[in-house]
Amino acid sequence: MNTPEWQKLSLAVPQADVEACEDALLEAGALSVSLEELDDEPIFEPAPGQTPLWQRVRVSGLFPGDISPAELMAVLNGCLRPALLGDFDHEYLEDTDWVHQTQADFPPTRYGESLWVLPPWVTPEDFPGEHLILDPGLAFGTGQHETTALCLEWLDATPLAGKTVLDVGCGSGILAIAALKLGATHAHGTDIDPQALKASRDNAALNEIDAAQFWLGLPKQLDPARRFDVLIANILAQPLIALAPSLAPHLAPGGQFALSGVLRDQAEAVAAQWHAQGLTVDQIATKGDWARISGHR
């Protein structure tokens, strides 16, 4: 019998023990560790500074198939208290064509009437319209989440020719790059995560965006006097409420804005705060549990 190439060992543990279990699995030789919820306990938005986890978590380690399961358990027994080893699963895994799987998980997708988000391995000419090439390996937003889709659909429906755009919390750069593809002349992208700024730069290069068209920087580096024709922010409800007084002044007279990263039941509170800045809210659109607030000055 051929030795399977991979095996997975999983532990069902309380939240407080997740870090210890991660460390133990890595000590036993895990090549990667993943976390999954065990109960129906959705977490939509963490409080500032929090890294949320479910109350009960399945911690799984991926191991080479040639390690003895008894050897793995011996290492875990030496690292963890017995109670944490009472609920575990072990399985051998079939070898997977990871390239094919990645391609299946990231198909070409159209947003609105003309905008396509495409992975690098397809032929753009097969998809008539505007093309945004995105490498899913760079993370920070691929368009598949409802909030990103809501923003892309809004951009596709908004006349952008000749306009300037501010993308707050730019992540992968997907929204700013989409705006440039749809006719905007210049975009500014800001994010608090330097790795997101790097991902945005890489995706801009992948889409042959002229560096002079796409400024990227930390929020503190953004000129407070700069005004934009379009402001788009796909972050979270609490930052959108807290930052409204500092972000709204960046919108030029007659400018348009779209905000997402917001749950349905948070949309009215976000809309009220932006209305309080002297802006007009035109629409609250929803997709699944999520909402987009849009309007103008």
Domains of the chain: 6-95 (3.30.70.120), 104-296 (3.40.50.150)
What confidence score (pLDDT) does residue 130 get?
92
What confidence score (pLDDT) does residue 122 get?
85
pLDDT at 219 exceeding the cut of 80? yes
> From edge to edge, which strands make up the β-sheet containing 32-37?
32-37, 56-64, 6-14, 88-93
What confidence score (pLDDT) does residue 54 get?
73
Residues with Cβ < 8 Å from 262, sequence gap 6 or more?
Answer: 147, 236, 237, 240, 270, 290, 291, 292, 293
Distance CA 297, CA 275 (A): 10
Give the residue with greater pLDDT, 101 vs 106. 106
What confidence score (pLDDT) does residue 39 get?
64
The pTM of the full predicted model, rounded to 2 decimals, is 0.71
pLDDT at 269 exceeding the cut of 70? yes
Q: Which of 189, 254, 246 is nearest to 216 (CA)?
A: 189
What confidence score (pLDDT) does residue 100 get?
61
pLDDT at 253 exceeding the cut of 90? yes
pLDDT at 42 exceeding the cut of 60? no
28 confidence band (pLDDT: 50, 70, 90): very high
pLDDT at 138 exceeding the cut of 70? no
